């Protein structure tokens, strides 16, 4: 980020603790440039909502600093922060129509009647909810309520929009459709989005950048593909997508190529020595889709043989659990058309690209 | 079996309805009784007793009672809303204890309260406040706990996220109260005020101590009259006040829309 650009949101060493000893958010630092879609992703209870509430101003951090467009926000109440927030349960005003709900923000900010009407019209247009102005929230479907909540949050044109698991109450089909719409709205408005979710697919599909949180700390931060391909820890590898995490007994470095010795006499070669010293390597991560079925009689490195223990056909592809050694079950994802002749109990040869094996320290 | 149950259910249900309605039916019949001894004759009836109510003997106490009840309802509504806000909404320190304290007058018999108020007024040299001011004050003490209860319930049910949503949209404290909290707890406030009105309008035990001679509330006037005579005019008074109260409930419901609150319906 260039110096001229002001980050929309900056968290500097933000910590939140309750009662002095329960640390819920621990020394989180985060920079969100203007117009970026950032997701905070993590399991339940990891402190996502708490972080969002601190940005919104509902909680004050115990220590650290929060800046919005360069201005320190300590002591600034939520109503003065010019931030939008979409709640998980939408929190629509039940006694107001869609029109009144969406008009609430502009009205409270003292905009004129015509400005307010214009803001409502354009917000409802952005979320494609024209024609529902006079309905009450209880007369709307879940998806329409969701759109109303989004329209209400963007109508006052906040500098930043925070979203706390906004899609988690919708069914899968609608959730997938809304992902695309949300992203479109964000790009169309050029608004900075901070999106909290525990759904990794959501985070991966919409975000410019993902911040993975675990137990109140940032476990990893980066572009979605970066995080998927180069998880820095077993936690991230496991949380984002599916993975095989295999314990490594010993690792040796030969000019950037690592030889990993696993249990049961297995040995793999990895081309990604990375920054981790060979001595610190305790695990390696292999994505199921990076394990291929090898032709019979193939030879070379990273070739494993095993017995199919479980087989789940998922339509487009199938998942195999292959027993490659006494204590090592490898998850493998193969296209269904390659399944011919393979059933539970069959012996298969597996091939793993050396570039697809990610050594991990923890 | 289930048929038998359902027959039993209806029999029982009708019995209860009858039990509730019977006194009213009797009073209604008595109020149109053709003779001054209360008699029941379906074929002859008269409205003359209602006509007799249109004298200052009955109108003055009625107006006094209605006036007191209206003032009590408004003041109780305001006080109870403020109390419920602090206790149930803001959850001020010690809110549980304060809530119990606010509700505790319910446990004190009204006679005891009446004696206490009179003793207080006389020992504090405020005896001249007997009559309307004393009645209003006494009835407020009596009705506030009921009103607090009803209003606090609607505040407990209020989704705090709505307040946060309004806040992040830029609404100040007062705007949030005005546009979000009050509209949503309005049914609670109006049901609390309705209760206060009815309790005040019908009150006997407390008013007995607080009325001053020559200036009596309607229920006290009825009781005094009853000591000397039992004629259909009493029944007519009762029917008339019943109709009045129904009208008040209807009016408050139109403004406050609280049927939902009382029936817990899903509107
Ligand atoms: N007032 C509080 N006092 C003590 N601990 C709290 C308080 N509020 C939250 N916590 C704890 O902080 C942790 C993080 O909570 P938070 O709501 O931020 O989680 P989250 O990541 O949003 O989870 P979810 O995905 O379930 O919404 C939880 O373990 C919770 O128990
Ligand atoms: Mg949460």
pLDDT digits over A109-135, tens only? 999 999 999 999 999 998 889 999 999
Same domain, B81 and B126: yes
Tokens 């049914």 sit at which residue? B187
Whether pLDDT at A4 is above 60: no
Per the domain annotation, does B86 fall within a domain?
yes
Per the domain annotation, does B91 fall within a domain?
yes
Same domain, B59 and B40: no
**Mean of pLDDT values over B7-22:** 90
Whether pLDDT at B266 is above 50: no
Instruction: Pick the last residue of a domain from B46, B61, B80.
Output: B46
- Whole-number Å distance between alpha carbons of B108 and B94: 22
Residue from A24, A56, A58 whose mutation best tests the ligand 1 pocket (most atoms within 8 A of CB) = A24
Residues of B in contact with A160 (CB under 8 A): none
Domains in chain A, CATH or no CATH each = 3-235 (3.40.50.300), 242-360 (2.40.50.100)
Residue from A39, A41, A46, A88 whose mutation best tests the ligand 1 pocket (most atoms within 8 A of CB) = A46
Per the domain annotation, does B31 fall within a domain?
yes
Same domain, B83 and B115: yes
Same domain, B146 and B22: no
Same domain, B42 and B70: no
Model-level pTM greater than 0.90?
no
- Residue A358 CB–ligand 1 contact under 6 Å: no
The tens digit of pLDDT for each residue in A55-80 reads 999 999 999 999 998 889 888 999 99
The tens digit of pLDDT for each residue in B53-97 reads 888 888 999 999 999 999 999 999 999 999 999 999 988 898 899
Same domain, B89 and B17: no
Same domain, B19 and B62: no
The pLDDT score that the predictor gives to residue B259 is 60
Gap from B267 CA to chain A (nearest CA, Å): 10
Per the domain annotation, does B5 fall within a domain?
yes
Same domain, B75 and B34: no
CATH number of the CATH domain containing B83: 1.10.3720.10
C-alpha pair distances (Å), B203 with each of A329, B17, B67, B220, B229 = 80, 25, 14, 8, 21
C-alpha pair distances (Å), A264 with each of A47, B196, B251 = 39, 81, 84
Residues of B in contact with A108 (CB under 8 A): 166, 169-172, 175
A241: left (phi over 0), alpha (psi -120 to 50) or beta: left
**Mean of pLDDT values over A196-202:** 91
Percent of chain A beyond pLDDT 90? 47
Residue B150: give the domain boundaries.
Answer: 52-262
Per the domain annotation, does B112 fall within a domain?
yes
ipTM score: 0.82
Percent of chain A beyond pLDDT 70? 98
CB A277 within 8 A of CB A339: no
CB A303 within 8 A of CB A269: no
Instruction: Pick the last residue of a domain from B46, B65, B80.
Output: B46
Tokens 């549980």 sit at which residue? B96
Mean pLDDT score across all residues of chain B: 87
Q: Whose CA is nearest to atom 10 of ligand 1?
A: A24
Confidence of residue B143 (pLDDT cuts 50, 70, 90): very high
The pLDDT score that the predictor gives to residue B48 is 82
Confidence of residue A274 (pLDDT cuts 50, 70, 90): low
The pLDDT score that the predictor gives to residue B229 is 78
Work out how many domains chain B is built from and give that number: 2
Same domain, B78 and B18: no
**Mean of pLDDT values over B157-183:** 95
Per the domain annotation, does B21 fall within a domain?
yes
Per the domain annotation, does B88 fall within a domain?
yes
- Residue A49 CB–ligand 1 contact under 6 Å: yes
Same domain, B176 and B208: yes
Per the domain annotation, does B267 fall within a domain?
no
Helix, coil or strand: residue A259 = strand
Expressed in angstroms, the distance from the first to the final Cα of chain A is 30
Among A106-115, A323-332, B177-186, which is the least confidently predicted range?
A: A323-332
What's the A88 CA to ligand 2 centre distance in angstroms? Answer: 8
Which one of A56, A58, A87, A161 would you mutate to disrupt binding with B, by most B Cβ within 10 Å of its Cβ? A87
Nearest by CB to B168, from A78, A89, A92: name it.
A78
Mean pLDDT score across all residues of chain A: 88
Determine the Cα angle at B27 with ends B22 and B28, to 5°: 95
Same domain, B12 and B130: no
Same domain, B168 and B209: yes
């Amino acid at each position: 980020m260039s110096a001229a650009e002001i980050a929309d949101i900056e968290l500097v060493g933000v910590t939140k603790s309750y009662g002095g000893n329960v640390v819920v958010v621990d020394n989180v630092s985060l920079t969100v440039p203007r117009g970026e879609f950032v997701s905070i992703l993590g399991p339940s209870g990891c402190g996502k909502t708490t972080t969002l509430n601190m940005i919104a101003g509902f909680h004050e951090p115990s220590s650290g600093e929060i800046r919005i467009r360069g201005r320190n926000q300590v002591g600034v109440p939520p109503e003065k922060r010019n931030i939008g927030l979409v709640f998980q349960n939408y929190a629509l005003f039940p006694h107001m129509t869609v029109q009144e709900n969406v008009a609430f923000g502009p009205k409270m900010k003292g905009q004129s009647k015509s400005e307010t009407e214009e803001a409502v019209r354009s917000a409802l247009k952005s979320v494609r909810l024209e024609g529902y102005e006079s309905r009450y929230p209880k007369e709307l479907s879940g998806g329409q309520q969701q759109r109303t909540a989004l329209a209400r949050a963007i109508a006052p044109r906040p500098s930043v929009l925070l979203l706390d698991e906004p899609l988690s109450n919708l069914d899968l089909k609608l959730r997938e459709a809304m992902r695309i719409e949300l992203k479109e709205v964000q790009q169309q408005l050029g608004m900075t989005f901070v999106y909290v979710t525990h759904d990794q697919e959501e985070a991966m599909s919409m975000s410019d950048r993902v911040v993975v949180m675990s137990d109140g700390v940032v476990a990893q931060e980066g572009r979605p593909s970066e995080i998927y391909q180069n998880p820095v820890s077993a936690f991230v590898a496991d949380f984002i997508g599916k993975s095989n995490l295999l314990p490594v007994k010993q690792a040796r470095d030969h000019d950037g190529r690592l030889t990993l010795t696993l249990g049961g006499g297995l040995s793999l070669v990895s081309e990604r020595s990375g920054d981790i010293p060979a001595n610190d390597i305790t695990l390696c991560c292999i994505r199921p889709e990076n394990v291929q079925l090898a032709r019979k009689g193939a030879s070379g490195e990273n070739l494993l043989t095993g017995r199919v223990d479980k087989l789940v056909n998922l339509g487009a592809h199938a998942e195999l659990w292959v027993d490659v050694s006494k204590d090592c079950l490898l998850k493998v994802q193969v296209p269904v058309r390659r399944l011919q002749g393979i059933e539970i109990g069959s012996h298969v040869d597996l091939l793993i690209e050396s570039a697809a094996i990610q050594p991990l320290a923890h | 079996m289930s048929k038998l149950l359902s027959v039993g259910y209806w029999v029982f249900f009708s019995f209860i309805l009858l039990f509730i309605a019977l006194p009213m039916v009797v009073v209604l019949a008595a109020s149109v009784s053709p003779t001054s001894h209360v008699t029941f004759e379906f074929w002859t009836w008269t409205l003359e007793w209602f006509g007799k109510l249109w004298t200052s003997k009955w109108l003055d106490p009625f107006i006094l009672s209605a006036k007191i009840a209206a003032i009590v309802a408004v003041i109780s509504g305001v006080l109870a809303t403020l109390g419920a806000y602090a206790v149930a909404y803001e959850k001020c320190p010690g809110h549980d204890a304060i809530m119990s304290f606010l509700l505790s007058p319910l446990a004190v018999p009204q006679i005891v309260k009446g004696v206490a108020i009179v003793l207080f007024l006389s020992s504090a040299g405020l005896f001249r406040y007997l009559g309307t001011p004393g009645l209003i004050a006494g009835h407020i003490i009596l009705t506030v706990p009921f009103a607090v209860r009803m209003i606090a319930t609607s505040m407990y049910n209020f989704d705090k996220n709505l307040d946060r949503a309004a806040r992040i949209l830029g609404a100040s404290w007062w705007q949030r109260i005005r546009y979000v909290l009050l509209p949503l707890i309005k049914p609670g406030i109006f049901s609390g005020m309705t209760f206060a009105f009815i309790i005040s309008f019908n009150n006997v035990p407390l008013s007995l101590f607080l009325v001053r001679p020559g200036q009596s509330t309607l229920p006290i006037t009825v009781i005094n009259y009853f000591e000397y005579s039992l004629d259909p005019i009493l029944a007519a008074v009762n029917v008339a006040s019943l109709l009045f109260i129904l009208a008040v409930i209807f009016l408050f419901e139109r403004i406050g829309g609280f049927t939902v609150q009382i029936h817990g319906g899903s509107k």
